[in-house]
Structure 1
Amino acid sequence: MPKEKSKHRHRSRSRERRDHRSPDPRSSRNRDRDREREREKDRDHRDKERDQRREREKDKSRDKKREHKSRRRRSSSASSSPSSSTSSSAPGGPRSPLAKNSMKLLQTLEARRLVEQKDRQRKKEELKAHETPEEKRARRLREKQAKEQRRRERMGWDNEYQTYSNEDNPFGDSNLTSTFHWGKKLEVEGLSNLSTKTVEVLSLQKQLENRRELEKVKKRRQERELERQVREDDLMMQQRAKEAVQFREWQRQEDQFHLEQARLRSEIRIRDGRAKPIDLLAQYVAAGNEPLESASRCRCTSPMCC
């Protein structure tokens, strides 16, 4: 009996050790899953707190701006009140109702704008409060991309290069989006002690100057092209006018030639005895006009000379 008890104790102890050494994998997975959920909850809670803190800061800054605007409006109204009283007492007093109406209209428009701004802000906050972590990450990614695009536009990037990034570009440049710093050149120019932001501002100014120069060159080239086109148009119009005059002369000569040929054919038919009625009529008309033509050709003053 003692041996059996000792064996039983030994088996129970070995089983306890084995259970202690090799825990159940299902329970470990559940614990890992619970830890992951707790981390996700903590992360969401921190994100919400950060968003709320940002919103509070924005509200404070907005309230400060409104107070500043209201103070300026009060000061402007206080400064304009003496002038309005003098204008009402002056002969031009009837203008004061118009000024009051305009002030009321401006105040109503300002109040409406503030209400719309509050509505937009409230809707934005509601969307932020009800969005999932995936939607939040997507929204932040979109905001980051929009910010990067604005920065590239300020740097002077064209639409062709807007889609390029450090990882995806045909130049194989891993620092494409960052500003290039030419250390030796900055040392020669005495600008090596400047900060990177100052160097970026200087490079941006230089890019803008180069762009303005290119615009000027392009404008001058367009003006030259326009002047050349005008000259070519003038030359073409002159050439067309000359050709029109020459064509009219050719047309007149052609008509004269055809008329002479018709007369010659008529004379030949009359001489050969096969005249047509039109040939005889033309002969009679020519015979009747011949004295007039001879008189017009005569230069003497005596009427009996011809």
Structure 2
Amino acid sequence: MNYLFVDGNSLGYYHQKSDKLYNGEMEVQAAFGFVKNVRRYASILHARPMILWDGFSDKRRDFYPDYKANRDNDPDIKKMKEGFAIQKPYILKMMTALGVTQLIAKDAEADDLAGLLVSSIAPQPIVEHIYLLTGDSDWLQLVRENVSWVSLREDAKNKQVNFEQFAELTGFATPRAFLEAKALQGDNSDNISGVGGIGAGGAKELLHEWGSVATMVRGINDGSIVVNKGRHKTAFNKLAKNAFNEKTGCRMLEAFKRNITLMNLIETKFPPTEIETIKGNRDVKAFEQLCYELNFRSFLEDLEVFVLPFERYC
């Protein structure tokens, strides 16, 4: 059995930002694109779709108050989210009527739910492959032998990243190395500062040369590794000595460890403790009525054909 884990908010926001589509005065492009693409990827990948939704959680912000603080007052993001929120109830209903099960991490993020599910479901003998449909590169750390990352973006440089091609496509030998590189650099989109002095190039060099931050730090401190040349020699030595970085206002190793805690999805420190399950309950008539309500005529032109992938895989 193949699974398609869909990052619900990521897919919804992506289509909400696409060309406007209206039913009367109501924007409906998010709902239209969401349903269309869940169908598309379930069909292409021969996989059972499951939608993962964010709940509400301040766990990461309690741990790191600056987390996502840059999004709070962005008027464009606020407007986009408001437009999507109006359509979300329709998406929930349409997915249910198509037989798609949805999981809501009531007190966590969909990222943490994805990590939890990959850890628990991927090893099961009946699971052939899991596909992660998202626009979030953080989910790349979840790639395994039977887990692939699929970009929802049509213009993505790498549309799909599997375990065999991970190093070739990402530049990092392992998903763990990818995570450590992100922790070194920080993440501007989530307002997480890096360790300071080590950007994308430096992170890639460090992980390529030593495989992990721990190996380099241990080697420099016990004398088995000497870094006395190269563009990043000063930053690497300062990292190993846990030097204070004036720009970030934090010691470098402490910032790295903090970022690993914030970013690690496989061993998340912020797991959902309450997961709401909305079981799929196939009802073609209910789906048809919702399509009429939203004026999704292209879905209705050959409804039997449109619902076929859901009947086959859900």
Higher radius of gyration, 1 or 2: 1
Fold-level match, TM-score > 0.5?
no
Q: TM-score, normalised by structure 2?
A: 0.16
TM-score, with length taken from structure 1: 0.16
Higher helix share: 1
